[in-house]
Amino acid sequence: MKLTFLKPDLQTPCDLPLFMSPVRAGFPSPAEDYLEQSLDLNKHLIKHPAATFFVRVDGDSMKDASIHKGDILIVDRAIPPSNGKIVIAALQGEFTVKRIQIKDGEIFLCPENPSFKPIKIEADSDFHVWGVVTYVIHKL
């Protein structure tokens, strides 16, 4: 899996309209068509600006976690990795995105696609967790 790393531009606010009324799946009410606030996506999605990066995904090993080729991951390096989190890991000099599983003191990098096998991290592996994925951005 190939990953492309980008740094967020926090100098420009990303204020977008935010409608306070919930979106209904039934008949819409025209009386609720009004804007109440704005939402800055930088403030909402980026908790640790100095430690946050965007990563573009190339590959399909995480498709069952709704992470697809071309998606952008928001990765926070200030969050400690823990069991079950989706992480960006460096293994043998290559970056990958996988779910980290810790069982009986052993570490596995697990894909979310049955076509791929989990990777067991051996004691002599050149391995470290680079950051924790906090959000996925993709087109519908």
Q: Residue 35: how many CB atoms within 10 A of its CB?
A: 10
The pLDDT tens digits of the residues spanning 8-56 come to 666 666 665 555 555 566 665 555 555 567 677 888 888 998 889 989 9
Structure tokens at 1: 């899996």
pLDDT of residue 50: 86
Catalytic residue among 61, 85, 125, 139: 61
Helices and strands (H and E) in the chain: how many: 1, 10
Topology of domain 48-137, per CATH?
A: Umud Fragment, subunit A (2.10.109)
| Residue 43: active-site member | no
The share of the chain scoring above pLDDT 70, in percent, equals 74
Indicate the Cα dihedral angle 86, 12, 50, 81, nearest 10°. -10
Kindly list the domain boundaries of the chain, sorted by start residue: 9-44, 48-137
Q: What is the mean pLDDT of residues 129-137?
A: 96
| Residue 61: active-site member | yes
Catalytic residue among 21, 98, 115, 117: 98
**Tokens 């069991």 label which residue?**
83
Record the pTM. Answer: 0.78
